[in-house]
Every structure is written in C-alpha cells, then in structure tokens.
Amino acid sequence: MVVEPLVVALLLMAALMHASWNAILKSDQSDRMATFGVIMTTGMVMGLVAVPFLPWIEPAAWKYLAASVAIHVLYYTFLLKAYSYGDLSHTYPIARGLGPLLVALVSGRFIGEHLRPQDILGVLLLSFGLIALAMPLRNVVPRPGSRHGLATLFAVLTGFTIAAYIIADGLGVRSAGPTFQHRLSYIAWLCVVEGPWLLALAIVLRPGTVWKHLRRTWWRGAIGGVIANVGYGIAIYALVLGPMAHVAALRETSVLFGALMGTLLLGEPFGARRVAAAAVIVVGLVLMNGPQLI
C-alpha cells in the first residue's frame, strides 16, 4: 500500500512546515525553551478552539494519547539539548532520518506492516546517509564529551523518541473513531494535553528572564506554533491513510529542507559531503514510499 498523490503533496507541505518551525526555534539565541513553550502553547489554544465542535474520541485512543504526550516530553528535552550543542544542518537530519528508519524496522513486529525489498534498500540508504551526516566536517575525530559528540548523541535520542511517538500517534488516531471528525478530535486533544508544560517549566526555572523574553519575541513562537501544529496535524491524519513507515518516511523529506535552511538562512557550515549525504537520505526516504520497483 502506497499513499495517494494528494496525501503525498500534503506530507511534503507538512515536511516544509516542520523544517520551518525548527529553523525558527534554532535561530532563537535568547531563550529557546521559552520559544518552544510558546510554540506548544499556541497548539493548545488551537486545540481548545476546536474540541467543542468535535466528537469525543473512543476510549481505546486515550492510552495512546497519554503515551504520546509522555514521549513528546522526552522529545522536547532531547531536541533542545541537540540544538544547544550542534548546528541545525547536523542535528536535524540525524534526528528526522532516524525516526522512520526505526519505524520501518519495528513496524512488522508491532503493527503488521512489512517491508518490501525496496523499503530495505531505502533503510540501507538512510543508514549510509546518517553515518555521513554524523561525521564532523573537518578531518578530525571528535573527543568523547565534545560538543559535536553530544549533539550527535542527543540527535540520536531525539530520533528514538520520534519513532516512538509516530507509532503511538498512528495507533491512537486509527483507534480514535470511524469518522474524519474523530481523527481531528484526537489531533486537537493531543495539542491541548501536551501544550502548556514546556512553557510552565521555563517560567518556573527562570521567571524573570522568560517574561522579558516573551514580551519581546512572543510572536516568533506564535508563528512557529501555527506552522508546527498544522504540519503535525497533517502528518497524524496521514497515518490513517497509509503505512506508518511510508508516511513517516515521506514526511521526513524535511531533512533536506532543514539542511538547506540551516545553511542558507542561519549561516551554518555544511560542505559538499553533507549535501550528498542529505540527498542520499532523501532518496532512501522517497524510495520507501514509492511504488513497487523491486
């Protein structure tokens, strides 16, 4: 089963949106946690506006929603750490590329979606591209505990949480109910439940600086929040329409958008090898989602 062309187009839009809000977050040099908190709180507001007009989700879906929220908390933690130590063009492709790789490896055992031969080839291309991206740009081996090594470690941990929440949300939205409105309700409730915690934590840790930061740059997080939550809503709904590994893979073409934004907009070093590695990752991801070839 391969997703329909309209869903492919929507997922490519979601991929661009995901890379965009990550670039907004990474470019914030004053208080990244507070900005991330505003991004998530914006999603909560959007969810609260929607839920009164939507049906309740089925009871079976709530356990997946709860699991997703817990996993997302870990995801936020690891993502912020990765961005504090490394460049967007280094950490983003590793984290986003590893997620669908792990989903593909476990999807047969846990959700009965088995790999085709070309999917296996896509996994191999992903692995090669990730190794190339994880290597430092210069011909030196990073020391244990160096910023490059820590950035890579937290990017890998982020990738594991991405795979986990894709599976949780895929199972959750599929069990939310039979109608389009039930699935929208799952997405809206996810935004509501996971929304406020990161901003609350930032306020508790440093109230004075957070409020000062929010007065100056609240709009950055609000814009990022609209982009992030609409994009993830599209991605969650697409998990109903196609195999999880394929949907996750196509969405993670965002690695190329992220790499280009990190280099062209944020002035991060990239180099010809990372360009080639990012292209290999995208080829692997697209091959996993393409029609039968092998």
* pLDDT, tens digit (0-9, with 9 covering 90-100), for 221-261: 899 999 999 999 999 998 888 888 778 877 877 777 777 77
Q: What is the pLDDT of residue 197?
A: 85
Q: What is the pLDDT of residue 136?
A: 63
- As given in the structure block, the two tokens for residue 208 are 């004075």
- As given in the structure block, the two tokens for residue 24 are 């907004």
Three-point CA angle 199, 203, 208, nearest 5°:
140
Tally the residues of the chain.
294
Q: What is the pLDDT of residue 223?
A: 93
Identify which of 137, 152, 159, 132 has the alpha carbon closest to the alpha carbon of residue 277.
132
- Under the banding of pLDDT at 50, 70 and 90, the label for residue 138 is low
State the chain's mean pLDDT as an integer.
84
Flag whether pLDDT at 263 surpasses 80. Answer: no
- Under the banding of pLDDT at 50, 70 and 90, the label for residue 58 is very high
- Under the banding of pLDDT at 50, 70 and 90, the label for residue 33 is confident
Q: What is the pLDDT of residue 140?
A: 47
Flag whether pLDDT at 154 surpasses 70. Answer: yes
Flag whether pLDDT at 146 surpasses 80. Answer: no
Flag whether pLDDT at 2 surpasses 60. Answer: no
Q: Which residue has the higher pLDDT, 34 or 48?
A: 48
Q: Which residue has the higher pLDDT, 139 or 35?
A: 35
Q: Which residue has the higher pLDDT, 263 or 195?
A: 195
Report DSSP letters for 72-121, one per residue. Answer: HHHHHHHHHHHHHHS-HHHHHHHHHHHHHHHHHHHHHHHH--PPPHHHHH
- Return the top range by mean pLDDT from 10-14, 81-85, 141-145, 159-163: 159-163
Q: What is the pLDDT of residue 84?
A: 85
pTM for this one? Answer: 0.83
Q: Which of 61-70, 77-86, 177-186, 270-279 has the lowest mean pLDDT?
A: 270-279
Cα 56 from Cα 62, distance rounded (Å):
10
Flag whether pLDDT at 109 surpasses 80. Answer: no
